[in-house]
Amino acid sequence: ENRPIPDPGPNEVLLRMHSVGICGSDVHYWQHGRIGDFVVKDPMVLGHEASGTVIKVGSGVTHLKPGDRVAIEPGVPREMDEFCKTGRYNLSPTIFFCATPPDDGNLCRYYKHSASYCYKLPDNVTFEEGALIEPLSVGIHACKRAGVTLGSKVFISGSGPIGLVNVLVAKMMGAAAVVITDLSASRLQKAKEVGADFTIQVKNETPQEVASKVESLLGCMPEITVECTGVQACIQAGIYATRSGGTLVLVGLGPEMVTVPIVNAAVREVDIRGIFRYCNTWPVAIALLASKRINVKPLVTHRFPLEKALEAFETTKRGEGVKVMLKCDPTDDSP
């Protein structure tokens, strides 16, 4: 709150922040101080799902001006390395990423960011929708890596925010049928609302039994599975469920070591692919939102002013609702 307002560098913009969503990773850093090799060693600002208004531009910035409403892509490469040259800048080892130690996030009143990674929002796309482009991008990147196409049968494991955006994107990309699993009945109800064709509430079934339920609901084994939990049993179910020659994309991150039926996958030529965040997704997402081909508004279930950030984080930690959104600008009552 008491930090000085920074001046933007030549290729940066200064933003008055508006909407910032809370992600599971934000809560994890808050509670545990680390995710894998990323360890919080100094005080760090959280937040990486964000939108705001440009209030000052650097001398080299030509595509934005004060007053522009923008969505912020949180990952900015620091150097033009081989990954940037091939268009996969998300894999650059030196990338800056909001709220990944030691880089500060944007859950604050004022924030400066690389202008190239701030995208102007059309008038018919709200600040909240702009902030939701970040999780939506995970779905776009995952479904592209999975090869979802016209008529695909898709199994999505986990009905949290990332599972739900994968439902939205898979349907948008032409999936004929999507089945989704979760422990929570209320989350599965939300999945139905956003377009899932079938839901399975998992209780104490074995991974093979889950796979069998998926097959019976779809009428066949799915060509594509998108695993959004990181839970060992769910990854196992994903391998058993996926049709021979199909693709399993691992989105959820759990323990570093998991035991999986790798021979089952190998002899059936099931391709296992990982994803790391996203790249080149903001223009696509903005086009989908502006054309109303995708509706992310149902994902936001709770809203808090920045002053109640702790309450917002505790709501997320308890697993209530789907997406908790913080509003950083008390003078602006637009959504």
- For 220-237, how does the pLDDT look when each residue is reduced to its tens digit (9 = 90+)? 999 999 999 999 999 999
Nearest by Cα to 169 from 217, 214, 204, 132: 132
* Nearest-angstrom CA–CA distance, 232 and 259: 7
Does position 30 have pLDDT exceeding 60, yes or no? yes
Instruction: Give the per-residue pLDDT at 196.
Output: 98
Instruction: Give the per-residue pLDDT at 2.
Output: 62
Domains of the chain (ranges, CATH numbers) = 12-120+296-327 (3.90.180.10), 139-274 (3.40.50.720)
Contact (Cβ atoms closer than 8 angstroms) between residue 72 and residue 50: yes
Environment class of 269 (CB within 10 Å of its CB; exposed 0-12, middle 13-18, buried 19+): exposed
Question: What is the Cα 110 distance to its own chain's centre?
Answer: 23
Does position 305 have pLDDT exceeding 80, yes or no? yes
Tell me the sheet residues that pair with 52. Answer: 17, 70
* Nearest-angstrom CA–CA distance, 55 and 13: 8
Residue 120: φ, ψ to 5°: -65, 135
Instruction: Give the per-residue pLDDT at 317.
Output: 95
Instruction: Give the per-residue pLDDT at 37.
Output: 87
Contact (Cβ atoms closer than 8 angstroms) between residue 183 and residue 159: no
* Nearest-angstrom CA–CA distance, 328 and 335: 12
Tell me the sheet residues that pair with 50. Answer: 20, 72
* Nearest-angstrom CA–CA distance, 158 and 325: 21
Our CA dihedral for 319, 138, 284, 332, rounded to 10 degrees, sits at: 30
Q: With cut-offs at 50, 70 and 90, classify the pLDDT of residue 1.
A: low
Nearest by Cα to 136 from 253, 25, 283: 283
* Nearest-angstrom CA–CA distance, 184 and 319: 10
Tell me the sheet residues that pair with 120. Answer: 70
Q: With cut-offs at 50, 70 and 90, classify the pLDDT of residue 333.
A: confident
Instruction: Give the per-residue pLDDT at 321.
Output: 86
* Nearest-angstrom CA–CA distance, 230 and 250: 8
* Nearest-angstrom CA–CA distance, 166 and 311: 28
Helices assigned H by DSSP within 194-281: 207-218, 232-241, 262-267
Q: What is the pTM of this model?
A: 0.96
b/e for 137-150, b at 16 or more Cβ within 10 A? bbbbbbbbbbebee
Does position 181 have pLDDT exceeding 70, yes or no? yes
Report the 10 Å Cβ neighbour count for 78. 12
Nearest by Cα to 26 from 303, 253, 316: 316
Q: What 3-state class would DSSP assign to 270?
A: coil
Nearest by Cα to 36 from 44, 48, 47, 28: 28
SS3 content of the chain, % helix, strand, coil (to 5): 35, 25, 45
